[in-house]
């Protein structure tokens, strides 16, 4: 996702820039009888996002489903960008890192995870969002299905700062561009809003100056 330059400046510029039963056996004369192995019926494909939440109850199984069923979509401009709801992403099967992170958060929340949506917003450069959660051990983990081949579950981490720093390093490795960046939490942002409103709605956790 491409973004350019401050809340209003970053967002405005970003608009330009920016996964049972065994049958009884029968026999001929002299053959032993016994159970005949059966192949379990395949799990039906989810018809709704709530089916996804029912069938894929862990971050690991969800990550595998997302990788196989959701594709990445990056718009040429941000003029038509809207914060897509997880049910809408389930229908379209296409979205960017923000939409996919929100999708993961929705499914994991349904299964008792304590999640948050973390967004690393660089001035003038690529940005990235991930879905993070606090596990029973008190450690932070995050799921990623949309960043340059880095698919999987990452952790444990002690702080959001560690996650954001790792994501920032990934972004710099991708394009070689170091920049000031904000770390924002979009956990409680409403769906359907445009890009500028989305950027303004996130809670600023902290900013990191250009090193």
* Mean pLDDT of the residues in the chain: 83
CA-wise closest residue to 1 among 23, 17, 22: 17
Which of the listed CATH numbers 3.40.50, 3.10.620, 3.30.300, 2.30.30 matches domain 7-18+47-208? 3.10.620
Contacts of 89 (CB under 8 A, 6+ apart): 49, 70, 95, 99, 100, 102, 103
pLDDT, mean of residues 119-146 = 92
Spatial distance between the Cα atoms of 150 and 165, rounded to a whole number of angstroms = 15
- The residue extents of the domains of the chain are 7-18+47-208
136-166 tens-digit pLDDT: 999 999 999 776 667 899 999 999 999 999 9
Q: What is the pTM of this model?
A: 0.80
**Between these two residues, 4 and 125, which has the higher pLDDT value?**
125
Please write the tens of the pLDDT for every residue from 60-111: 999 999 999 999 887 878 888 999 999 999 999 999 999 999 999 999 999 9
């Amino acid at each position: 996702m491409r973004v350019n330059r401050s809340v209003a400046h970053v967002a405005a510029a970003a608009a330009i820039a920016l996964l049972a039963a065994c049958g009884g056996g029968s026999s001929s004369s002299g053959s032993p009888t016994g159970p005949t192995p059966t192949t379990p019926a395949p799990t039906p494909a989810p018809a709704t996002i709530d089916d996804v939440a029912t069938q894929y109850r862990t971050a690991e199984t969800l990550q595998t489903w997302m990788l196989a069923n959701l594709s990445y979509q990056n718009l040429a401009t941000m003029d038509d960008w809207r914060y897509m709801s997880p049910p809408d992403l389930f229908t379209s099967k296409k979205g960017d890192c923000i939409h996919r992170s929100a999708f993961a958060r929705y499914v994991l929340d349904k299964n008792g995870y304590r999640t948050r949506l973390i967004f690393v917003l660089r001035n003038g450069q690529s940005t990235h969002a991930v879905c993070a959660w606090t596990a029973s051990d008190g450690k932070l983990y995050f799921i990623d299905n949309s960043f340059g081949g880095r698919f999987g579950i990452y952790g444990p981490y002690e702080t959001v700062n560690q996650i954001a720093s790792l994501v920032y390093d990934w972004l710099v490795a991708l394009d070689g561009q170091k920049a000031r960046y904000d770390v924002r939490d979009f956990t409680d942002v409403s769906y359907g809003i445009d890009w500028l409103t989305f950027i303004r709605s996130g809670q600023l956790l902290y900013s990191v100056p250009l090193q």
